[in-house]
Structure 1
């Protein structure tokens, strides 16, 4: 087995650092909002601002990287993250809630670029046979962030005591600086859009048809993968609290989930060689479905929760990474920027819907219903997968 290229290693570092920031934001955004909020009804406004920032930037990020390349795009992202972290830190130190909201919006713009490391990994692969191994290395590095993020957030939160959480944003700034420095080593032309030749334009006309059929079908699979994962991940802390588990215990369950979201990436290339991409996605669907069905057990112990969230993470990994690899077969290089931007927009929109639905569903009917609703969604994804006419291998 040959060693990954320099660009793939740099992208893996970028993915690890990005996941670290995102996991820190998950922990500290709502807490800092509740600390500064002038009204309880505004507690989640910083989190909402982050979501809006990501939604506004998720498609333009693809266009920007088409012009600047992956290096320029990820450097821009790191700069926005540094600025957002500084503004949030100042807001907490000076007790200005709406300044915090502005910083959270910028950190949402930062987060939008995280969707594109999977596509950058494909750009960095030498040929189509190395796509799976490139994604496995880059996406697998996210496991570091899943562990480092909560650790840094908790250990830096009281750095500027008695002002809570300001230190966590200092940690975010520091990680973003490291991110900027690491992405300096990317090749300048990686991912940059090249003007199409006449032959490429003819090919693009054919691929455009696929963009309206196979592309949409595979994008639906990626969207369902993210939505199902988000539903279970966001509902789990509420269910654990309702079951009288301590916050520290809930954190352990979520850490297991984060680890299993990224760790299986390292095994994806070997699995794809044996069972193909459709087989990988199918195992992901079955894994997620099994995790959902386990919630029907009457005695939801800590161990059961860990298995359920672990299976949810594995399911997301196989479905999302497999879907990303299949997606590359549905568009031409000339349409890369548009296709990747639309796919990321679809995925994040599904993520938002699932995120906001989780709390309401938990309030109305509980943990079991949240998971049972995922079953028909997974059924739709498996049906779409096997009617889609895209090559089964990479």
Structure 2
């Protein structure tokens, strides 16, 4: 089956419904980022293991990324996304049960299943990129990611409001609500009419293999910057609530509010990120994102008041938005249509595998070397990403002149 020649009937419907779905996926992840480590700290045998369940979520996402891509291409976008949301319903119930029973390892396994569900949702940005004309790809990705603004308000606030709703076990309700949101996601997805996936035919041109693609600078650079963007954001964000509550003595509500503003800042810039990319290019936008992450680390190194945390995490969120949308746009323009599934299946495990490493090391390093050291480690990674972007931009300029 070929892609429709006129995609205009799909565009408005795709953007609106997938933005709603992005809000659902984002809210589920926001709940875990807001209270996952705090919940695990009360269940874990050792506080240095507090970020381990959150890491399990990211590992579940990373390990399921490539299979989720293949399932979506096998079942079609709508059915694939609905399967992912259905997995989220089961995961939410298991997570709530684990907290109620006080089982640390069951909780970690449940969050891994939440991550597996999220792996399907992460394909939403590629679904919209493949369903609109190339000249509005960046804007379409940005508009869909605006659903994350709602997630920023909804996820952390729901986690706090519902934390005492089930018996006398704190945070049980916070994870049961994931099941409710996932069920709502299934209903939303059932109303979508997404452009069909590209099914490979014998007469189609043969695309490059994953090994060949990763050697191409136009592919390698967005892969690397995407990995750096997600790793740095996760590294600081996962440790921040623990640092606020257990190191700096701030309240859980203050930590939840900080994460809420962080998540809002991750997605609100999507209102204009696509337009900025159109004006100054993806390389420059990703570079600005890295500079903002450097600013986040410097502010965290300058103080530990709630205001320091708020401003730093807002910069981190905007930096992630620029880095993520810019890297996704760079990648989407670098592969040929017949290489879409290969490139996407290559990107997701690398990005989320790096994210998992950042998550687990964040909790361990916070417990053993402190909050300041975590922020110091941001500096060389962001600087290296800036250098890589500068090299890629220089290559492009030389190619244009040639």
TM-score by length of 1: 0.87
Q: Which residue of 1 aligns with 2:156?
A: 150
**2:177 counterpart residue number:** 171
2:266 maps to which of 240, 261, 267: 261
Would you say the 8 A contact 1:55–1:348 is kept in 2? yes
Residues 269-328 of structure 1 deviation map (CA, whole Å, 9 limit, x = unaligned): 22123211112112112111122223343x443323222111111111101110000001
The superposition leaves residues 25-75 of structure 1 with CA deviations (integer Å, 9 ceiling, x where unpaired) of 3345456556667x5588766545434422321211111111122211110
Match for residue 5 of structure 1?
12
The root-mean-square deviation of aligned C-alpha atoms, in Å, is 2.9
User: Which stretch has the larger CA shift, 113-122 or 263-272?
Assistant: 113-122
- The reply on whether 1:293 has 2:319 as its aligned counterpart is no
> Within 5 Å, which residues of 2 pair with 1:1-394?
5-30=12-37, 39=45, 46-47=53-54, 49-91=56-98, 100=107, 102-125=109-132, 127-187=133-193, 189-190=195-196, 192-196=197-201, 198=203, 200-201=205-206, 204-205=207-208, 209-214=212-217, 215-241=219-245, 242-297=247-302, 299-388=303-392, 389=395
CA separation of 1:32 and 1:253: change in aligned 2, threshold 3 A: closer
Question: In 2, are the aligned partners of 1:17 and 1:176 still within 8 Å (CA)?
Answer: yes
Unmatched tracts of structure 2, length 5 or more = 1-7
Distance 1:50 1:319, change over 3 A: closer
The count of aligned residue pairs is 385
Q: In structure 2, what is the Cα distance between the partners aligned to 1:208 and 1:87?
A: 38
- Find the residue that maps to 1:162 and give its secondary structure: coil
Q: Name the CA distance, whole Å, in 1 between partners of 2:341 and 2:173.
A: 37
Deviates more, 1:149-158 or 1:65-74: 149-158
Q: CA deviation at 1:259?
A: 1.1
Deviations 1:232-274 (A, max 9, x none): 2123224333233222222222222111111111111221232
**9-18 vs 88-97, which deviates more?**
88-97
* Inter-CA distance 97–224: structure 2 relative to 1 (3 Å threshold): closer
Q: Is the 8 A contact 1:69 1:193 kept in 2?
A: no
CA distance in 2: counterparts of 1:19 and 1:350, whole angstroms: 19
Contact 1:196 1:334 in 2 (8 A): no
1:11 offset after TM fit, Å? 0.7
What TM-score does the superposition give when structure 2 sets the normalisation length? 0.86
Kindly state the Cα deviation for residue 364 of structure 1 after the two structures are TM-superposed. Answer: 4.1
Question: 1:205 Cα shift?
Answer: 4.3
Superposed displacement of residue 359, structure 1: 2.5
Shift of 1:101: 5.0
Bigger mean CA offset, 12-21 vs 109-118: 109-118
How far apart, in 2, do the equivalents of 1:171 and 1:100 lie? 15
Instruction: Give the SS at the match of 1:187.
Output: coil
Give 3-state SS (helix, strand or coil) of 1:5's partner. Answer: helix
Q: Is the 8 A contact 2:30 2:263 kept in 1?
A: no
